[in-house]
Chains A and B, each alone.
Chain A
Amino acid sequence: MSIHDLLKQYIEEGRIKLDKSIHHELTTYHDPCNYGRKGERAFGHGYYEEPRWVTQQCCENYVEMYPNRANNFCCGAGGGAWAAPYVEERIFYGRVKAKQIKDTGAKLLIAPCHNCRDQIMKSLRKEYDFMDVEVKYLWELVADSLVMEPREEAEEE
Chain B
Amino acid sequence: MEPLLLTKREKRKLASQYADLCLTCGTCAGGCPVTGVDGLDVRKAVRLALLGMDQELIDSKFPWVCTLCGRCEYACPMNIDLLALLRSARGMRARDKVPGVLHKGVEMCLKTGNNVGIPKDDFVFLLQDLGAELAEELPGFEVPVDKKGAKYLFTINSKEPFAEPEDMMYWWRILYAANESWTTTSENWEGVNWGLFTGDDAAMKEIVGRIVKNYKELGCEYLVLPE
Interface residues of A (CB under 8 A from B): 1-3, 6-7, 10, 15-17, 33-34, 37-38, 41, 70-81, 83-86, 89-90, 92-96, 113-114, 118, 137, 139-140, 142-144, 146, 148-149, 151, 155, 157
Given known A80-B198, A89-B65, contact A34–B174 (CB-CB < 8 A): no
Shortest Cβ distance from B66 into A: residue: A79
Shortest Cβ distance from A10 into B: residue: B178
CB pair B67 A85 closer than 8 Å: no
CB pair A37 B64 closer than 8 Å: no
* Neighbouring B residues of A10 by C-beta, 8 Å: 174, 177-178
Shortest Cβ distance from B37 into A: residue: A89
**CB of B111, distance to nearest CB on chain A (Å):** 18
Given known A86-B61, A146-B177, contact A78–B224 (CB-CB < 8 A): no
* Neighbouring A residues of B124 by C-beta, 8 Å: none
* Neighbouring B residues of A146 by C-beta, 8 Å: 173-174, 177
Given known A16-B178, A83-B102, contact A73–B71 (CB-CB < 8 A): yes
Shortest Cβ distance from B75 into A: residue: A71
**CB of B109, distance to nearest CB on chain A (Å):** 12
Shortest Cβ distance from A75 into B: residue: B67
**CB of B7, distance to nearest CB on chain A (Å):** 33
CB pair B67 A142 closer than 8 Å: no
CB pair A86 B99 closer than 8 Å: yes
| Contacts A143-B169, A148-B177 known; 4 new A-B pairs at CB < 8 A | A41-B73, A78-B67, A86-B65, A140-B167
Q: Which of B71, B171, B192 contacts A143 (CB 8 A)?
A: B171
The tally of CB-CB contacts under 8 A between chains A and B is 137
* Neighbouring B residues of A1 by C-beta, 8 Å: 152, 222-224
* Neighbouring B residues of A113 by C-beta, 8 Å: 227
Interface residues contributed by chain B, number (CB under 8 Å): 49
CB pair B70 A92 closer than 8 Å: no
CB pair B224 A81 closer than 8 Å: no
B181 close to A (CB within 8 Å): yes
Interface residues of B (CB under 8 A from A): 33-34, 37, 61, 64-71, 73-75, 83, 99-102, 105, 138-140, 152, 157, 159, 167, 169-171, 173-174, 177-181, 192, 194, 196-198, 222-227
Interface centre among A38, A74, A94 (most CB of B within 10 A): A74
CB pair A79 B69 closer than 8 Å: yes
* Neighbouring A residues of B138 by C-beta, 8 Å: 148
A34 to B225, CA, bound (A): 12
* Neighbouring A residues of B171 by C-beta, 8 Å: 139, 143
CB pair B170 A139 closer than 8 Å: yes
CB pair B33 A74 closer than 8 Å: yes
Given known A6-B224, A89-B34, A151-B139, contact A81–B67 (CB-CB < 8 A): yes
